[in-house]
Amino acid sequence: MERTIQLMETHLNIDLGNPPFLKLDNGLQIPYSSIKGITTGRPIPNAFKLYGASFGGTRNGLFRFNGGYHLYFFYNEVDTLHFDLNNFLVGKFKISKLIIDVKNPEELSKTISERLT
């Protein structure tokens, strides 16, 4: 499943497909003001799964790490984009990190970072 990110004027539209464990049919609309930082690379390995699936290098769902809630949607942990969020609200959870797999994460990271300044 390929994730898609659309850069809009004031926010990102992130299509996550149809995650089986979370009701995110419309994806996520994240305002640029909610993004504290963006990086690429391998994700945090020891997050505790609350809802979703975790096996091998795959993680999909809601995870808890270091007192914060994270959303992970990736099959390939190497090609991931990491968003540090300012307690972005998804349902009743304040999300502090979103990690998704995308094509060309380095290039996408630079493009999004330019919009954050």
Q: What pLDDT digit, counting tens, does each position of 23-54 carry?
A: 666 788 999 999 999 999 887 767 777 767 77
> How far apart (Å, rounded) are the C-alpha atoms in residues 41 and 90?
24
What does pTM read for this prediction?
0.87
The residue type of 103 is K
Structure tokens at 90: 């998804």
Distance of CA 106 to the CA centre of its chain: 15
Give the pair of three-digit tokens for residue 109.
């990271």
Q: Tokens for 43, please give them.
A: 């994700």
Average pLDDT, the chain: 84
How sure is the predictor about 2, in pLDDT bands with cuts at 50, 70 and 90?
low
Alpha-carbon span 65 to 30, nearest angstrom: 21
What's the CA gap between 7 and 38, in Å, rounded?
Answer: 14
